[in-house]
A and B are shown apart, each in its own frame.
Chain A
Amino acid sequence: MKRLLETGNGAITEGAIIAGCRVFAGYPITPATEIAENMARRLPRAGGFYLQAEDELAALYICIGASAGGMKAMTATSGPGYILYADPFGWAISSEIPLVIVNSQRVGPVSGITGAPGQGEFYLSRYLTHGGNFENIVLAPAGVQEAFAITVQAFYLAERFRMPVTILADQLVTDGWETLLIPETGAELEAMGLKVIERRVNRGPEFYPATDAIDVPPVVLGHNTGAACSDWTPTAEGYDTEEVEWQHKHAYRLIYKVRNHKDLLTRYEAYFVDDEPEVILVAYGSPSRVVKSAVKVAREQGLKVGGLRLVTLWPFPEEIFSWQAKYLVVEMNYDGQLVREVQRATPKGSAIHFLGKCGELPRVAELVELIRALVNDRPLPCNPREREVW
């Protein structure tokens, strides 16, 4: 096991290389640029290719082309580049191309502040492309070691589900320095609970099963299998068709290959929940670490509070919001994105509260104050920019 002081960007790079990524195409953007820089340094030494693309569309399409040719590929960006992925992302979803996309969120909308964290692409990460009729896999790391593990897992899931998998990080995760343990042998990797799947080749004649099946080898071009790969509605053989019946089958596959295998995907952390506390804090990414500290401090002060940290963001883990409570959702945005999903998922009679932060983390003391108010049924101190009772 190699032990390093590393950033999230470095951890993602190492995770990708261990997972077999040999193509990285990217376009420089803060705070994801270091992933590109690390890849430019590390990939050639690992026998892989780094390409600086002419824009984000090209970056993701180059990755798609490399993956369609049989290589594992990854790209990384931040919000202003992520929105440009909408076109190629749809292509990869529809053609079932395995690859990994990293979005290190910064505060927005649009360019915002390059060096301040945000969580404004929660919904965009679910609905990045047009046309609907698909499900999506999005994972959110909260630290450097987890960024490493999630990257390896993302490649694993991309291969099994034949689709792009998104890592929705934030600036504090990708820029933050922490200790990183890197496995040096297969056994060490396995001990970390991580697996790597080699790329397989679908030799047809059925390139696209009209079912929810996973573990179907992806279509790889260049093996003279008569493979067809496009954004058009495919028949089982991959031919394009104008018949809506095939669109129904295609949509079923794209949605239910994910939904029907949700148990393989849902990851979360629940703490101080064994005694079914009245108040539950919910967060993902960097704010979840402050939330965890605040819950711990509040428990020490005798307040019955627990916490949920989401790792899998999409498909949304509704099932983990199984009991009625007062929920406080903490996010790094003012408009409340995660809070709407929590509101939808929680049992009737639950009260949903929201603390939003714009470009910065919440503070432990402020969270403890809110927890105390919720436990004692007092109204929350209301700063209209930051807090809202839902």
Chain B
Amino acid sequence: MDYLARKYLRPRKIPSTACSGCGLGQVHKKVLLAIDELGLGTGDIVWGTGIGCAGRQTFNTWKGDNFAGTHGRVYALATGLRLALPPEKKIILTVGDGDAFGIGLLHLLNCARRNVGLTVIVCDNLGYQSTGGQYGWTTPAGYCTDSSPLGMWEPNWVQGGRDILAVLKAAGATFLARHTSFEGRNAVLSIKKALLNNGFSLVHVYFPCVTNFGARALGTRRPAAIYQWFRERTAAMDQAGPEVDFPLRTGIYYDASNSRPEFCENLRAWVAEVQEQGGNR
């Protein structure tokens, strides 16, 4: 991670202990590039993580302040922290697909409803990989994992007319985007826009798992073959994509940045108003 790592990450956390060939480093680097290009420093951001591959590999890598929540609960914790921090401090959460779209979905939806000023980066490796490769909430239909040995039969959050981003949009999120870790500038631009939104932003980034998803679902541990699988399925949201079993439609899904008041700023303003009226409200 070169100069970005030296500038923003703790030396003892480099290199990461992620599996060789893991795409998480690519996602991590995109977030750092976005931070760097916005001219932000370690004091501008408090970095939170969840659990699983994404949480474990990104926790405490940031040279500034860090926290890690228990599985799926970091959104509520970040809501409380948002209340206590000055509005100009940014909170980034790097979490996994299970953390965000499974166990933590209730809290995530409520952050979107409230429009809490958080930038959530969902690092999605298509299942529960740190526990050995079980199916998750975005595992493609029909693919085999350790807990769907005969094929993924349970409806997921991204197929069959469903899209978790649509659910988050309906809940009130003000910036939503989706990318793969293989994409370059587009993903960085989306993360930058997410960081500039004074409200709830979520960027969903798919990345390859070589060790479990690759081996079990795709039948290969070769990064090149897994890359090919992703490439064949990736198409921009505003273009007609290829007819594939699991389309990865990337780009900005919804951008209503700065269109709704941020929850904590709104609450602060309301409390100030109550106090100005001498508490006679």
Binding site for B on A (CB under 8 A): 23, 25, 44-45, 47-49, 51, 53-55, 57-59, 61-71, 73, 87-88, 90-91, 221-232, 238-240
Q: Is B4 an interface residue (CB 8 A)?
A: no
Q: Is B83 an interface residue (CB 8 A)?
A: yes
Cα of A91 to Cα of B48 in the assembled complex, Å: 14
- Contact across chains for A65 and B82 when beta carbons are under 8 A apart: yes
User: Which residues of chain B are within 8 angstroms of A229 by Cβ–Cβ distance?
Assistant: 65-68
- Contact across chains for A57 and B68 when beta carbons are under 8 A apart: no
- Contact across chains for B59 and A57 when beta carbons are under 8 A apart: no
A54-B110, A226-B65, A231-B70 as given contacts; A25 in contact with B80, CB under 8 Å = yes
Cα of A54 to Cα of B79 in the assembled complex, Å: 12
A49-B271, A229-B66, A229-B67 as given contacts; A23 in contact with B83, CB under 8 Å = yes
User: Which residues of chain B are within 8 angstroms of A87 by Cβ–Cβ distance?
Assistant: 70, 73
Q: Quick one: which of A65, A221, A228, A231 contacts B60, CB cutoff 8 A?
A: A228
Q: Quick one: which of A53, A68, A225, A228 contacts B76, CB cutoff 8 A?
A: A53
Cα of A244 to Cα of B246 in the assembled complex, Å: 43
User: Which residues of chain B are within 8 angstroms of A64 by Cβ–Cβ distance?
Assistant: 77, 80
Cα of A23 to Cα of B79 in the assembled complex, Å: 12
8 contacts between A and B (CB under 8 A): A23-B84, A44-B281, A61-B77, A225-B65, A229-B65, A230-B67, A231-B68, A239-B10
User: Which residues of chain A are within 8 angstroms of B42 by Cβ–Cβ distance?
Assistant: 224, 226
A66-B84, A230-B59 as given contacts; A222 in contact with B79, CB under 8 Å = no
CB distance from A55 to the nearest CB of B (A): 7
User: Which residues of chain B are within 8 angstroms of A53 by Cβ–Cβ distance?
Assistant: 76
Q: Is B64 an interface residue (CB 8 A)?
A: yes
CB distance from B270 to the nearest CB of A (A): 7
Q: Is B21 an interface residue (CB 8 A)?
A: no
CB distance from B213 to the nearest CB of A (A): 24
Q: Quick one: closest A residue to B60, CB to CB?
A: A228
Binary interface encoding of chain B residues 85-128 relative to chain A, with 1 for a CB under 8 A from any of its CBs, else 0: 11001000000000000000011001000000000000000000
Cα of A197 to Cα of B231 in the assembled complex, Å: 58
Cα of A45 to Cα of B67 in the assembled complex, Å: 31
A45-B279, A65-B78 as given contacts; A223 in contact with B65, CB under 8 Å = yes
- Contact across chains for B80 and A61 when beta carbons are under 8 A apart: yes
Cα of A67 to Cα of B68 in the assembled complex, Å: 15
Cα of A204 to Cα of B70 in the assembled complex, Å: 24
- Contact across chains for A224 and B84 when beta carbons are under 8 A apart: no
Cα of A232 to Cα of B67 in the assembled complex, Å: 10
CB distance from A59 to the nearest CB of B (A): 8
CB distance from A225 to the nearest CB of B (A): 7
Interface of chain A, main secondary structure:
mixed
CB distance from A238 to the nearest CB of B (A): 8
CB distance from B174 to the nearest CB of A (A): 19
Cα of A265 to Cα of B259 in the assembled complex, Å: 51
User: Which residues of chain A are within 8 angstroms of B79 by Cβ–Cβ distance?
Assistant: 51, 58, 61-62, 65
User: Which residues of chain B are within 8 angstroms of A67 by Cβ–Cβ distance?
Assistant: 80, 84
Q: Is B274 an interface residue (CB 8 A)?
A: yes
User: Which residues of chain B are within 8 angstroms of A48 by Cβ–Cβ distance?
Assistant: 271
CB distance from B110 to the nearest CB of A (A): 5
Binary interface encoding of chain B residues 241-281 relative to chain A, with 1 for a CB under 8 A from any of its CBs, else 0: 00000000000000000000000000110110011000101
Q: Quick one: which of B60, B84, B107 contacts A71, CB cutoff 8 A?
A: B84
CB distance from B265 to the nearest CB of A (A): 12
- Contact across chains for B77 and A228 when beta carbons are under 8 A apart: no
Q: Is B46 an interface residue (CB 8 A)?
A: yes
User: Which residues of chain B are within 8 angstroms of A73 by Cβ–Cβ distance?
Assistant: 80
Which 4 A-B pairs rank lowest in CB-CB distance, beginning with the nearest?
A69-B84, A65-B80, A45-B279, A224-B43
CB distance from A16 to the nearest CB of B (A): 16
Q: Is B69 an interface residue (CB 8 A)?
A: yes
Q: Quick one: closest A residue to B49, CB to CB?
A: A230
User: Which residues of chain A are within 8 angstroms of B279 by Cβ–Cβ distance?
Assistant: 44-45
Within B1-21, the residues touching A (CB, 8 Å) are: 10, 12
- Contact across chains for B67 and A44 when beta carbons are under 8 A apart: no
Cα of A231 to Cα of B74 in the assembled complex, Å: 11
User: Which residues of chain A are within 8 angstroms of B274 by Cβ–Cβ distance?
Assistant: 44-45
Q: Quick one: closest B residue to A45, CB to CB?
A: B279
Q: Quick one: closest B residue to A223, CB to CB?
A: B65
- Contact across chains for A230 and B66 when beta carbons are under 8 A apart: yes
Q: Quick one: which of B59, B65, B81, B281 contacts A65, CB cutoff 8 A?
A: B81
Q: Is B28 an interface residue (CB 8 A)?
A: no
User: Which residues of chain A are within 8 angstroms of B77 by Cβ–Cβ distance?
Assistant: 61-62, 64-65, 68, 88, 91
Q: Quick one: closest A residue to B41, CB to CB?
A: A224
Cα of A62 to Cα of B68 in the assembled complex, Å: 14
Q: Quick one: which of B69, B84, B275 contacts A222, CB cutoff 8 A?
A: B84
Binary interface encoding of chain B residues 39-58 relative to chain A, with 1 for a CB under 8 A from any of its CBs, else 0: 00011001000000000000
- Contact across chains for A61 and B83 when beta carbons are under 8 A apart: no
Q: Quick one: which of A45, A51, A61 contacts B73, CB cutoff 8 A?
A: A61
User: Which residues of chain A are within 8 angstroms of B233 by Cβ–Cβ distance?
Assistant: none
User: Which residues of chain A are within 8 angstroms of B29 by Cβ–Cβ distance?
Assistant: none
CB distance from A318 to the nearest CB of B (A): 33
Task: Knowing that A57-B107, A68-B84, A225-B65 touch, tell me 11 more A-B residue pairs with CB under 8 angstroms.
Answer: A44-B275, A45-B279, A51-B83, A57-B76, A61-B73, A64-B77, A65-B81, A66-B83, A66-B84, A71-B84, A91-B73
Cα of A171 to Cα of B195 in the assembled complex, Å: 46
Cα of A207 to Cα of B65 in the assembled complex, Å: 12
Cα of A65 to Cα of B83 in the assembled complex, Å: 8
